[in-house]
Amino acid sequence: MYPDQDSGTAAGEARQRSQETAEVIAEVERMRMNVLGSASEYHPGEFWDDLIARNIAMLEASGIENFKRTIANNYYNWMVSSIHDPQIQRAITNWLRHPSLRPLAAQMRGGVREIRTLDRSGSYSFSRFQSLKYKMFVAAIWETARRLDSRSLTNILSEPPQGNPLSVKTQGREISQDLANSIVELSYVDSVRPLRAGDRIAELGAGYGRLADVFLKTTSVTYCVFDIPPALAVAQWYLRKIHGNDRVIAFDPTMTFKELVDRLVPGVVAFFSPSQLELFPDGWFDVTQTISTLPEMPRRQSDHYLKLLAQKSGDVVYLKQWIRWRNDRDQVELREADYNLGPGWALAARREDPIQPQFFNQVWRRKRS
């Protein structure tokens, strides 16, 4: 190929990326207006009202093609580098208890560069030493995921390239902390209530769709994402890129459940605003779940969502939340004891999260008469 062709191809790809980012941002605005038009209990609180604008600014600055280095850090990806970080300390402890040479042999493509987080105004990069610590952390928690993996997913799955992830390579496989966490989360639910083909899964606050992707690649389930923008738009773009248009039911605020139900078949992922959870019959889902979400809301809203998650699940509710966390913007502090599904539900399993020790994992099951 001649140089001018190279230049033309690169320029065309840049225009395509810019267009995709513009389309995602336009979808964010459409979704945002719909959420604001819903009942007040579904409006973002002060905490997320501020974050929405800052997430959109990150998208505009770095593009949707780099979202795993920017807005993903505002969901559940942690830019850990300090040896005093609880997650690094837990990773070291687990590695010493179960020593393996694999983390030492792990490699990282390109280092930790062009990162955006909420505590800095622009993009930044880790030093070589910080990148080394980050690489070791990801490789070590992958070993944790390997031990807890109920379906040998660590031998099958790789981190998807969409979004330009901070991926680490081990044994020829691209991995990430998001993929490790998703495998651990799925495996915990699966250990209490084995996943089956045809299961219906709902996730409230799915971030960019990392867990949905792993569920969809694990078994033939119907997966419904309920979230606010920009996460809802990013997840829709991401999972469409990975799974294709024919497996995606795009966000549509006008659809009724009667119009939707025949399309909600195994293997598809559908996107909804939080208020649309009310469209579904009680007990329609087999599993409802939410991760690192409820303390980020006003208390009346988190109580409402917890009630909805229980109401719409016919079998299991999975919660992964801070053991204790204060949301100053919404003047609320939630502790683990505040998460109670009430009569009709029993706590089937509980543990401190094996990767992030400041979080708990709970699996609740509906009582049978």
pLDDT for 2: 40
Q: What is the DSSP string of 295-356?
A: GGS-HHHHHHHHHHHHHHEEEEEEEEEESEEEETTTTEEEEGGG----TTEEEEEEEE-SS-
Across the chain, mean pLDDT equals 94
pLDDT at 28 over 60: yes
Q: Helix (H, G, I), strand (E, B), or coil: what is residue 165? A: coil
Classify 195-366 by CATH class: alpha beta
Burial 216-254 (b: 16+ CB within 10 A, else e): bebbebbbbbbbbbbbbbbbbbbbbbbbeeebbbebeee
pLDDT for 110: 85
pLDDT at 12 over 90: no
**Cα gap 267→40, rounded to integer Å:** 33
Q: How does strand 173-175 pair with strand 200-204?
A: unpaired
β partners of residue 287: 201, 316
Between 141 and 9, the more confident residue is: 141
* Side-chain-side CA neighbours of residue 105 (13 Å): 9
Segment 272-281 mean pLDDT: 97
pLDDT for 3: 47
pLDDT at 53 over 70: yes
* Residues, the chain: 369
The domain ranges of the chain are: 195-366
Task: Give the least confident one: 14-18, 52-56, 200-204, 296-300.
Answer: 14-18
pLDDT in tens, 323-351: 999 999 999 999 999 999 999 999 999 99
**Cβ(187)–Cβ(208) under 8 Å?**
no
